[in-house]
Chain A
Amino acid sequence: MKYIKTLNKTKLTDNISVKGCGECQTSCQSACKTSCTVGNQKCEYDLTQFLRLEGKRN
């Protein structure tokens, strides 16, 4: 594309069948306490799955 550069590699609609584990940080518990922001948080799905598997192995 000559005039458009898409900044993301993934869409919000990608992988919605596996997402939704609820392990990510509660929005207000970060630094704010007065403003809710989620766009700056990280998805913890992959990390949590990894730790669960590690827990089972050990």
Chain B
Amino acid sequence: MIHIFNIKDLYFAVDTNSGLVHAVEKIIYDLLMNEIFKDENKYSELYSEYGEDSVLEALSEIQYLIDNKMLYTEEIKYENKIKPVIKAMCLNMTHDCNLRCEYCFASQGTYNGEKAFLSFETGKKAFDYLVKSSGNRRNLEVDFFGGEPLMNFDTIKKLVDYGRSLEKEYNKHFRFTVTTNGVLLNEEKINYINENMDNVVLSIDGRKETNDRMRKTINGKGSYDLIIDNYKKFIVKRGNKDYFVRGTYTSNNLDFCEDIIHMRESGFDKISVEPVVAKPDEKYALKEEHVEILKKEYEKLAEYFIQSNNDKNKRFQFFHFNIELDGGPCIYKRSIGCGAGTEYVAVTPAGELYPCHQFIGTEEFIIGNVDEGITNQVVVDKFKNISVNDKPVCRNCWAKYFCSGGCHANAYNFNKDFSIPYDVGCELEKKRVECSIYIKTKCYN
């Protein structure tokens, strides 16, 4: 399987099964289009445009790639060597929030339940479970999440200390992340987070008007003015450590590139902005009719990215434009999917385990608890057999080893079926991969 595409003046061919990406001249692109290189009657029509010698030379280069398993490579037969164990955890420190974001999948922090705070005791049990379930894996991940996790800051600190004590005892390495809306960030918290968190996700949607339309205080006012200076202070002290300012775009800001430009011009250099996950009847939901507009917006963003990259003071990372063509994950990792329920669980303040944070609040998806571990194998098994090659739509998709099959929660929310991915999400992901490849060529080759 191959995929050919072009952006502006550049042409590409992606060979799905080898993972190879070829930057090609237009003559190659034309020969690969509809596989006309296989039919002399068809490719000879290109003689008038390129000359016979050039066409024949290009044909020999295509044949070289095919002979060397670099193009039209057959599907690899393998047994997945990764035996998934739970090694990553989304720890909901609160089911409560000090903002009332309109699009919040967690129903303003409560996940359709009661307000609650995670206790240190429950957090400890969650860490013990994580260590025990992770077998011989060394790297463990914990994301302090919510609701708003900084509302339960003292417990976070105690849990980080507890995690560090387990590291020595069990030869593990905890990687901590905190995802915050920024309202409670002050100097003490900034210093602590910078010292102890491997990654930090700072929520903001971009321009003040974009942010304030969806991210509101309890009194219904915009939150931008409450958080922007906190974030600016935070990144000054962050140094080279990882963080992302992370936004969500909706049908209200299809021009989300302007929000990213605003973030960059505000001083942030690690940016992630993602499409909203919403039921189709929500007025801010992204729909099929938006896809072409959004694709153009990603191309616009790619041009802005390239232009910024030319100036070392303006450079930035955009999460979805990062791509590892060498040194990326192995084929096993690329095929097993996001890991929900098999490598990753979400923990509620009550100590329930869910396959991931997106399912919290839907009781049929409770898979266990921090005391007993996994108790509902029936649900876990549903998440086990949905690797990218188990999904008919994904199996034949050129981008399958870049996205690994998409978000299970999205698939379930839209199609009530884990094996049918959310098609709008797929189209946007494919466009982002194309833009990433284009950027890689423009900036680094």
Question: Which residues of A are at the interface with B, using a C-beta cutoff of 8 A?
Answer: 1-13, 15-16, 19-45, 48, 51-52, 55
Contacts and interface: CB of A to CB of B under 8 A. Distances in A.
Interface stretch (B83-91, B218-226, B230-238, B293-301): B83-91
B402 to A, nearest CB: 4
- Of all A-B residue pairs in the complex, the 9 with the closest CB atoms, nearest first, are A20-B81, A39-B402, A19-B330, A12-B19, A26-B88, A40-B322, A31-B244, A36-B338, A31-B272
B407 interface: yes
B429 A12 contact: no
23 contacts: A2-B57, A3-B24, A3-B57, A8-B20, A12-B18, A13-B73, A15-B330, A16-B332, A21-B82, A22-B82, A22-B137, A24-B139, A27-B338, A28-B356, A31-B244, A32-B272, A36-B338, A36-B404, A37-B403, A37-B404, A38-B333, A42-B324, A42-B327
Nearest to B246: A31
Given A6-B20, A36-B403, A29 B143 contact: yes
Contacts of B23: 4-7
Contacts of B205: none
A42 B328 contact: yes
Nearest to A1: B61
Nearest to B339: A26
B405 A36 contact: yes
A13 B18 contact: yes
Contacts of B21: 6-8
Contacts, number: 218
Contacts of B179: 33
A38 B22 CA distance: 20
A28 B339 contact: yes
B429 A30 contact: no
Interface residues of B, number: 94
Interface centre among B22, B73, B177, B357 (most CB of A within 10 A): B22
Given A25-B88, A28-B407, A35-B410, 10 more contacts: A7-B325, A9-B326, A12-B330, A21-B82, A22-B82, A24-B333, A25-B139, A25-B175, A29-B88, A36-B406
A41 B324 contact: yes
* A interface: dominant SS: loop
B360 interface: no
Contacts of B322: 40
A2 B85 CA distance: 47
Interface string B420-441: 0000010001001100110011
Given A26-B87, A28-B339, A31-B244, A6 B70 contact: yes
B199 interface: yes
B81 A39 contact: no
Contacts of B406: 35-36
Given A33-B179, A37-B429, A26 B343 contact: yes
A32 B23 CA distance: 29
A2 to B, nearest CB: 7
Given A4-B24, A34-B410, A26 B319 contact: no
A5 B175 CA distance: 38
A30 B329 contact: no
A3 B23 CA distance: 8
A48 to B, nearest CB: 6
Given A12-B19, A30-B199, A3 B80 contact: no
Contacts of A33: 179, 201, 357
Contact of A8 (B105, B201, B275, B326): B326
Contacts of B58: 2-3
A32 B403 CA distance: 12
Contact of A55 (B78, B171, B429, B445): B171
Contacts of B306: none
Interface in B243-273: 244, 246, 248, 272
Given A6-B20, A29-B141, A31-B319, A43 B328 contact: yes
A6 to B, nearest CB: 5
Given A5-B23, A20-B81, A29 B344 contact: yes
A41 B20 contact: no
